[in-house]
Amino acid sequence: MPQKASEGDICQAVLGFITDGAYPEENIVAAKFPATGLAKELELISKAREQVENEISSLSRENHTFDADQWIVQAKHLHADIERSRVTAREIVSQHEQTNPLQAKVEDADAKVGLIETEIAFNQAVTETLEEVQRLCQQLESGRIALGAGQITVAIEHLESTTAAIGQDTPFSNTNVMGILEGEVTRLRDEIEVAVLQHWDAQLNIDRAKSQFRAVAVAGADSLDDTIASLSRLNILNPANEKLKNDLISTIIDPILLPRADGNSRAVDVTETAIRIDPEFSETTIADTFNRVIDILNNLRQNLPSSILDSIYQSLIQTISSKAISGWLSSAIPTTLDGLEDFEHTLNSVLQFTKKIESWGWSGQEELVSWVNQAPRLWLTRRRVDSLDSVRKAIAASKGSTKQVERIEKEQISQEENALLDNATVDDWDADWDDDKEETPAPGAPAAHHEDEEDVSAWGLDDDDNEETTKPEEPNPTEEDDADDAWGWGDDDEEQESKGNEAKPPAAANKNQKHSGEPAQPKEVVLKEVYTVTDIPDSVLEIVLQQIFDSKDITQPRHSKSRVASSGAGLLALPTLILAMFKAISSSSYALKLNSGQIYLYNDCLYLAGRVQGLIEEHDLPRLSLDVESLERFGKFAYSKEMQTQSTIVTDLLDGAQAFGNCSENPYKSECENAVSASVDRIRDVYKEWQPILSHSALLQSIGSLVSTVIGKMIMDIEDLGDISEEQSKQLVSFCNQVSKLEDLFLPENTGDSEAVPVTAVYVPNWLRFQYLSNILESSLADIKFLWIEGELGLEFAMDEVIDLIVALFAESDHRRRAIAEIRRAPRG
């Protein structure tokens, strides 16, 4: 196609045709004269005209023989030429405009030629593509035909070649044909996989319904090796091996290694090419179980190619090891020494199994080897778990049966103390015991810090294997009590630190009598009292004794060669954990099972502590000394907590009196009467409830603490009254008399004397103060002054307290002022 002419070329061609008569070139003739070129063409013609005129002028100036006529003639010719040029230009433009339809036809014909060429190329490409698709489809069909004829290898070859062809950069890569071909390839692959897996299952048949495995040998192209090769080429050998392993475990291994609750398992029948599990359960030993597993694994070694065994044996052995430990070995760990001999046989069976596996060059049995090596620690752990669970079961199984026990102690006392005992204070002996022994802190007071030989706060016994060579150390009084810290009881004890006398357990009370003078020859007295305990301490003590006896028996020749004999010393750490377990769960259990559960817990702890102290002396177990102290603290804390509860109750009941303001006027009078009566009745109810439980001295001290709480609040409320009328005074005296009737609860035990004197002042520290307050409320000024000057009122009340009471009780007068002045001047003894 000729090159398209530019606008400048067209204008120059027209100018050349006008001036020189030159005929334009073909591409200019065929070009369309642009409308925008007319102005430029006229400009070129004008310039050419001027040039001609200039040439004429120049020639006329050079020619001296100027011929005007000739010049005119030439000018006319020139003018005619110009006119012809104009006509010619118009003709050119007209002819150019007539060539436009022809140019459009030429362009249309050229486009049609290009389209036809493209269609020819497309048809050729489609033909080639369809031929390739037809070839691939024929190849896939050939694969299906070969698969139908049982020629799996040929079918795989067709599949691989088709897959490789599709994977290349083909003309139909992004067409629907590619999707159709890929779908056909996938279907053929699935068909081949199904066929190969059917061969696999037929050659290595696992029948779940019959619980059997059979290896069927096939020669030729359908051999197991060919099947494995086909699975490998299809990249499904690993999943097939994994499924085979899982099927073997679920169908063959599990029925053997997962015993029923009664310990029975299923036997196995192993032939040259088959393994069959007996459908019936029978009694089985651990040695029998491992022998059956060996027979099964040996059959697999003979019937499975190495390409299969190499990929599954390690995982298979690991699974067998885990299931054997969880199904048989863990439960075979004995909790008593009688089972150690059988346990040794079990360990030997496990080692024989691992050695057999090792002789085959296999691995995966490391977990079993480790289990045998850790047998001492596992046995001790099992004993620990069993003993702690025994504590839980003993407490849960308790039906709340109780018994009375006697506490006897010999004490050296001076003659003065003996005289006090003779004067009806013998009931306070329980409160005095601890004064002459090692000091025992009251609940809340910091206890002496100790650290036992072993760290049992976290119940870890990892070092118990070496304890048989270590002599138990004496408790170190400078270290923390780890066992108590692990349970967090120290924190609870600290909460009681700011509580008053009413929260102290009986064993922590201070003596009420002191003596001085020259020391006299001491006298030995036997102190006895009876209190009530439940059946739980004896059950816990039996568990503790079992550990102590077993720690000694395991060193005897009968058990000395056992692999777990090295953990015998570790048994001596278990009593601490057993007692810690008792403390951990007893508080809530006692509260649920028993009325006054915390009081029973207090008695049980003291009783158990005493029995454990006897074990320390009998069996030389100094490591348990800290546990004795911990039990005593825990019991005292339980007692303290219960006393706080009861103190809160009686205080809340007495709060109904609203500090005895307006106590002589209704409705306040009735509220005060009800509050005092409710508090007194509550104390009597507690006395009746605790009387069969606590020892008599402990009972009196407990009730004394509650009475002290009530009268302490009454004293404080009455002293806070700024003005007490005569009617109020009488009413307050009646309230005091009502509370004073509680004195009948503090009679000595078993005196047989109907006129026995109550020992209330011994157990209620503010009892005399309360009695003096009652006397003040109903006494005259003279009587009060006499009690202060001549009597012992000053021993219970401060001067300011007495003066404030006088001011509240008596109106302003000279008599009152003189009485107050005399009280201020009176000497204090």
Residue 594, pLDDT above cutoff 80: yes
Q: Which of the four pLDDT bands, split at 50, 70 and 90, describes residue 462?
A: very low
**231/508: higher pLDDT:** 231
How many Å apart are CA 643 and CA 654, to the nearest integer?
Answer: 16
Residue 318, pLDDT above cutoff 50: yes
Spatial CA neighbour of 428 closest among 533, 523, 522, 508: 508
State the average pLDDT over residues 47-62. Answer: 78
Please list, residue by residue across 111-125, b when 16 or more beta carbons sit within 10 angstroms of its beta carbon and e when fewer do.
eeeeeeeeeeeeeee
**69/380: higher pLDDT:** 380
pLDDT digits (tens, 9 = 90+) for 647-674: 999 999 999 888 888 787 788 888 889 9
How many Å apart are CA 163 and CA 291, to the nearest integer?
Answer: 50
Q: Which of the four pLDDT bands, split at 50, 70 and 90, describes residue 447?
A: very low
Cβ–Cβ < 8 Å for 502, 706: yes
* pLDDT value of position 478: 32
Residue 468, pLDDT above cutoff 60: no
Residue 547, pLDDT above cutoff 50: yes
Q: List, in order, residues 6 or more apart from 469 with CB less than 8 Å away.
A: none
pLDDT digits (tens, 9 = 90+) for 286-313: 999 999 999 999 999 988 888 898 889 9
- Three-class DSSP labels, 397-440: HCCCCEEEEEEEEEEEECHHHHHHHHHHHHHHHHHHHHHHCCCC
Q: What angle is formed at CA 662 by the lines to CA 659 and CA 663, rounded to 5 degrees? A: 75
Which residues, listed in sequence order, are joined to residue 354 by a DSSP beta bridge?
Answer: none
Radius of gyration, alpha carbons of the chain? 59
**789/67: higher pLDDT:** 789
* pLDDT value of position 481: 40
Residue 144, pLDDT above cutoff 90: no
* Lowest-confidence segment of 10-24, 94-108, 404-418 by average pLDDT: 404-418
**Most confident of the ranges 126-140, 477-491, 514-528:** 126-140
How many Å apart are CA 702 and CA 641, to the nearest integer?
Answer: 12
Report the sign of the C-alpha dihedral through residues 152, 153, 156, 158, in that order.
negative
| Domains, the chain, ordered by start | 7-133 (no CATH), 236-373 (no CATH), 381-640 (no CATH), 647-825 (1.10.357.150)
* pLDDT value of position 386: 94
* Lowest-confidence segment of 214-218, 359-363, 822-826 by average pLDDT: 214-218
* pLDDT value of position 544: 95
* Lowest-confidence segment of 100-104, 509-513, 562-566, 710-714 by average pLDDT: 509-513
- Strand ranges (E), 502-583: 523-534
Residue 444, pLDDT above cutoff 50: no
* pLDDT value of position 411: 66
Judge residue 46's burial from the number of C-beta atoms within 10 Å of its C-beta, 0-12 exposed, 13-18 middle, 19 or more buried.
Answer: exposed
* pLDDT value of position 625: 92
pLDDT digits (tens, 9 = 90+) for 720-741: 888 888 888 898 999 999 999 9
* pLDDT value of position 651: 93
Residue 58, pLDDT above cutoff 70: yes
Q: Which of the four pLDDT bands, split at 50, 70 and 90, describes residue 192?
A: confident
* Lowest-confidence segment of 146-150, 191-195, 220-224, 697-701 by average pLDDT: 220-224
The overall pTM is greater than 0.85: no
Q: Which of the four pLDDT bands, split at 50, 70 and 90, describes residue 828?
A: low
* Lowest-confidence segment of 86-100, 306-320, 422-436 by average pLDDT: 422-436
Q: Which of the four pLDDT bands, split at 50, 70 and 90, describes residue 316?
A: very high
* pLDDT over 70 percentage in the chain: 82
Cβ–Cβ < 8 Å for 397, 404: no
How many Å apart are CA 144 and CA 159, to the nearest integer?
Answer: 9
**Most confident of the ranges 20-29, 183-192, 580-589:** 580-589
For residue 307, CA distances in Å to 9, 151, 232, 310, 312 come to 86, 23, 10, 6, 9
pLDDT digits (tens, 9 = 90+) for 566-588: 888 899 999 999 999 999 999 89
Residue 119, pLDDT above cutoff 50: yes
pLDDT digits (tens, 9 = 90+) for 159-180: 888 787 776 666 666 677 777 8
* pLDDT value of position 118: 87
* pLDDT value of position 89: 79
Other CB atoms closer than 10 Å to residue 653's CB: what's the count? 20
Mean predicted lDDT score pLDDT of the chain: 80
pLDDT digits (tens, 9 = 90+) for 329-365: 999 999 989 888 899 999 999 999 999 999 999 999 9
* pLDDT value of position 356: 93
* pLDDT value of position 644: 95
